[in-house]
Amino acid sequence: MQRPKPPEDIGSFDFDFSMHKEMPYDFRPDSDLKQWVWDTFLNEDSELYNQDHEHLCYYADDLIGFMWASRAFEKGGRVVLGQCEQTAIMAGGWKRKRQELQMVQWFGYIPKYIITIDVGFAETASDSDFCALIEHELYHIGCELDGDGEMYISPLSGKPKLTMRSHDVEEFHGVVQRYGASPDVQKMVELANDGPTIGKAKIAHACGTCLLKLA
């Protein structure tokens, strides 16, 4: 199964932007990308199925909207290639209705989460880099756990409660070098030493959601 390619005409506009300081960013929703993510990582029959995302499978595929961005942005000296955000329409009245209309025009529905991927990255990345970034963004949508650390299922909805999730490990190289690995870092080391089960990827610090956390 081929991974979806971004639209070729993204970033080209049919209006005159010579008045603007820089080319505007362009954003395009992609339902094929969404379908590919669902088929690839959330379908039990797929080779790349990942049970870690099981909580997402309780929801229909209108849970997440997928978008391409015509180029990356820089934050904290790092280039951001992907981002996962919870849709938050913090407005009322016409302002709210306008934002809701924008979502429906883009996706056909109002997604609870939006994952955005840089087109430049998508065009040049290896398959494993691409999959790693997509899964990195998916991992940001976690779920609430019960007292035993198992997925909590709400008796009302019969579904897990989703929540934004940050990293498994947050540490400085220098602290590990000087004081050694905490249990979380040690776990990361062990997983790295075991080697990747899918393919080697180079996506460190490419995610805007992580940088937003850092900021």
Instruction: Name the site residues for Zn ion (rule: CB under 5 A).
Output: 207, 209-210
Q: How far is the CB of 138 from Zn ion (least distance, A)?
A: 10
Which DSSP string corresponds to 141-168? EEE-B-TTSSBPB-TTTSSBPEEE---S
Nearest CB to Zn ion, comparing residues 153 and 188: 188
Q: How far is the CB of 137 from Zn ion (least distance, A)?
A: 7
For helices 127-139 and 31-41, angle between their N-to-C axes, nearest 10 degrees: 90
Nearest to 102 by CA among 32, 28, 33: 28
Q: How far is the CB of 140 from Zn ion (least distance, A)?
A: 6
How far apart are the C-alpha atoms of 99 and 114, rounded to whole Å?
Answer: 14
Nearest CB to Zn ion, comparing residues 85 and 100: 85
Nearest to 198 by CA among 125, 134, 128: 128
Kindly report the number of other CB atoms within 10 A of residue 91's CB atom.
12
Q: How far is the CB of 37 from Zn ion (least distance, A)?
A: 16
Nearest CB to Zn ion, comparing residues 3 and 167: 167
Nearest CB to Zn ion, comparing residues 11 and 137: 137
Q: How far is the CB of 75 from Zn ion (least distance, A)?
A: 12
Contact yes or no for 64/100 (Cβ under 8 A): no
From residue 9, alpha-carbon distances to 6, 13, 15, 31, 110 in Å are 9, 9, 14, 17, 25
Q: How far is the CB of 134 from Zn ion (least distance, A)?
A: 11
Output phi, psi for 174, to 5 deg.
-60, -40
Q: Which residue is nearest to Zn ion (CB)?
A: 207
Nearest CB to Zn ion, comparing residues 37 and 207: 207
Nearest CB to Zn ion, comparing residues 170 and 190: 170
Q: How many residues does the chain have?
A: 215
